[in-house]
Structure 1
């Protein structure tokens, strides 16, 4: 009995001295998920661009320009001013937001006069780039795909997810950066 106890202890010590073999990490392949996500987003963008091109086609009396920033715009009123907004300038503008069926989502009365300091404040990418194309007195209609405005989140109020929008923007005043300080 005494010997079996010592054998048990000896075997236990031998087994416990063996180095444990490390486990390999569990890897999950996310590349298929990413490929699927990219594919879905490309399809959404393609459908939105087709819808925007339909709006442009229906408005055959207007000339829309395809911006290098991924949206379309037309001038309703184009001023003779020459100054374009620069970084740090304070802009005062009004806008109206509608869906592609031209149903108003936010009226200019509802939104009021908007203030924006160029590239110093948060603003959806499309509108930020669109305002830089405007001069005081310009009235411009912008056609934005959803990824240039509110994207897959919407505004958590009236603007839905992946909703392309029409913005009618009137630039009323520019306070140049050196005039603000």
Structure 2
């Protein structure tokens, strides 16, 4: 019992000694502005651009077209037909990889993924890219991070600020 009291008194003395009268320094919270966000977004976009160019240097046979948003696409099997448009329901097969060629997601051999163009919770880059395709087309999409999962990733397999490479087949348009 005596040793418990000694430990308790010792602990109290330690706590009192560590509670000095010195004022704690207030940590200043930096002010965030639109300029900060703009600068940061430009930096991320520049880094994506550099990484995409390095990737394309390794893929010389890919004849990509760049859109105003930064999406790059290459239709490597063109079936000639009407392109998918907003509101169309589509069946697609896909493989999603990182620039390192590491496979992240893919549809199974006998399955398709179905969604409505511009009306689904699909990456903005895929929604933009699908509109360059007609039924039966196969394409490669290089999707900058701001058109993919951005600053957060997908909380599963896609890390934050990751450029995605999507091999996409537009199986059917409804």
TM-based fold match above 0.5: yes
CA displacement 1:45-98 (0-9 Å, x = unmatched): 101111101111211122111123321111221113x21112321100011100
Q: Which residue of 2 aligns with 1:73?
A: 73
Q: Which residue of 2 aligns with 1:139?
A: 138
Q: TM-score, normalising length from structure 2?
A: 0.77
Separation in 1, partners of 2:73, 2:86: 22
Q: Which residue of 2 aligns with 1:58?
A: 58
Give structure 1 regions of 4+ aligned residues with deviation exceeding 3 angstroms: none
Length, aligned pairs only: 146
Separation in 1, partners of 2:126, 2:143: 8
Separation in 1, partners of 2:71, 2:85: 20
Offset at residue 29 of structure 1 (A): 8.7
Q: TM-score, normalising length from structure 1?
A: 0.74
Gaps of 5+ in 2: 1-28
Q: Which residue of 2 aligns with 1:19?
A: none
Contact 2:84 2:173 in 1 (8 A): yes
**Structure index of larger Rg:** 1
Gaps of 5+ in 1: 1-27, 176-181
